Amino acid sequence: ATSRTFGVGYFGHTVAATGATVREDVYAPFGNDPVLVHDVRVTNTSSRSEQASWFEYWDVNPYVQATRQYRGMSSPTWSPASRTLRVGQRPLDGDTSPLSIFLSQVAGQPSSFSTSQSGFFGDGTAADPSGVSRGHLDDRLAGPVANGTEGGTLLALQSRLRLAPGQSATLRYVYGYDQPADVPSLVARYRGAPDPFVASEHRWAASLPKASFGPSLGWLNREFLWDAYLLRSATVDEQLCGQHTVTQGGYYQYEVGQNWGTRSWLQYAVPLAYAAPDLARQTMLYAAQFQPEGGQFPYGSTSLCRPYQLGQSDDFDFWFLWAAANYGLATRDLGAFDTPVRYAGSTTEASLWQHVRLAFAHQQSLLGPHGEFEALSSGDWSDLLPTYSGMTESDLVVAQCAYVYPELAALARRRGDQAFARQLDGAADRLLATLRGQWTARGWYARGYVGNRPLGTGVLWLEPQPWSILAGAPNPTQAAALVANIRRYLDGVGAPAAVHGPDRIGTSIGPARDDPGITETTPSSAPDVGDNNAVWPGGTWYEPDGWLTWAYATLDGVVPGARTLAFDEYVRSTLAAHATAFPQDWTGVTSVDDTCWSFYSSDPGRCGGVLGITDYEGQNTEQPEWMVMDALDLAGVTPTESGYRIDPHLPMSGFAVRFPIVGVDGGARFLAGYVRPLAGGPVRLQVAVPKGVPHPVVTVGGTRVRAAVSGGWATFDVPTAPDRTAAWSVAWG
Please give the pLDDT value at position 550: 99
Q: Domain spans of the chain?
A: 2-207, 215-230+475-620, 637-731
- Judged by average pLDDT, the poorest of 203-207, 586-590, 624-628 is 586-590
Taking only the tens place, the pLDDT of each residue in 326-358 is 999 999 999 999 999 999 999 999 999 999 999
Q: Is the pLDDT of residue 609 over 90?
A: no
CB-based contacts of 725, cutoff 8 Å, min separation 6: 674, 675, 676
Q: Is the pLDDT of residue 611 over 90?
A: no
Q: Is the pLDDT of residue 48 over 90?
A: yes
Band (pLDDT 50/70/90 cuts) for residue 74 is: very high
Q: Is the pLDDT of residue 46 over 90?
A: yes
Taking only the tens place, the pLDDT of each residue in 172-203 is 999 999 999 999 999 999 998 999 999 999 99
Please name which of 605, 467, 636 lies closest in space to residue 543, comparing C-alpha atoms: 467
Beta bridge mates, 665: 656, 672
Asked if 536 and 574 count as a contact pair (C-beta separation under 8 A), the reply is no
CA distance 361 to 423: 10
Q: Is the pLDDT of residue 528 over 90?
A: no
CB-based contacts of 535, cutoff 8 Å, min separation 6: 389, 459, 461, 509, 510, 511, 520, 521, 522
Please give the pLDDT value at position 301: 97
Please name which of 242, 327, 221 lies closest in space to residue 281, comparing C-alpha atoms: 327
Band (pLDDT 50/70/90 cuts) for residue 546 is: very high
Please name which of 593, 369, 407, 601 lies closest in space to residue 504, comparing C-alpha atoms: 601
Q: Which residue has the higher pLDDT, 612 or 475?
A: 475
Taking only the tens place, the pLDDT of each residue in 265-322 is 999 999 999 999 999 999 999 999 999 999 999 999 999 999 999 999 999 999 999 9
Please give the pLDDT value at position 525: 84
Taking only the tens place, the pLDDT of each residue in 378-427 is 999 999 999 999 999 999 999 999 999 999 999 999 999 999 999 999 99
Please give the pLDDT value at position 34: 97
Please give the pLDDT value at position 612: 81
Phi (first) and psi of residue 420, to 5 degrees: -65, -40
Give, to the nearest 10 degrees, the angle between helix 277-288 and helix 262-275. Answer: 150
CA distance 555 to 562: 6
Q: Is the pLDDT of residue 526 over 90?
A: no
- Judged by average pLDDT, the poorest of 63-67, 298-302, 424-428, 567-571 is 63-67
Please give the pLDDT value at position 610: 85
CA distance 56 to 24: 11
Alpha-carbon 486 to chain mean position? 26
Taking only the tens place, the pLDDT of each residue in 649-701 is 999 989 999 999 999 999 999 999 999 999 999 999 999 999 889 999 999 99
Mean pLDDT, range 141-152, rounded to an integer: 97
CATH of domain 2-207: 2.70.98.40
Q: Which residue type is seen at 253? A: Q
CA distances in angstroms from 133 to 66, 81, 116, 136, 170, listed in the order given: 38, 27, 16, 8, 23
- Looking at the chain, the whole-number percentage of residues with pLDDT higher than 70 is 100
Q: At 598, is the secondary structure helix, strand, or coil?
A: coil
Q: Which residue has the higher pLDDT, 587 or 348?
A: 348
For the chain, the average pLDDT equals 97
Please give the pLDDT value at position 715: 98
Where does 45-116 show beta strands of DSSP type E? 50-59, 63-64, 69-70, 77-79, 84-88, 100-107, 112-116
What length does the chain have?
733
Please give the pLDDT value at position 97: 95
Class of domain 637-731 as given by CATH: mainly beta
Q: Is the pLDDT of residue 35 over 90?
A: yes
Mean pLDDT, range 453-458, rounded to an integer: 98
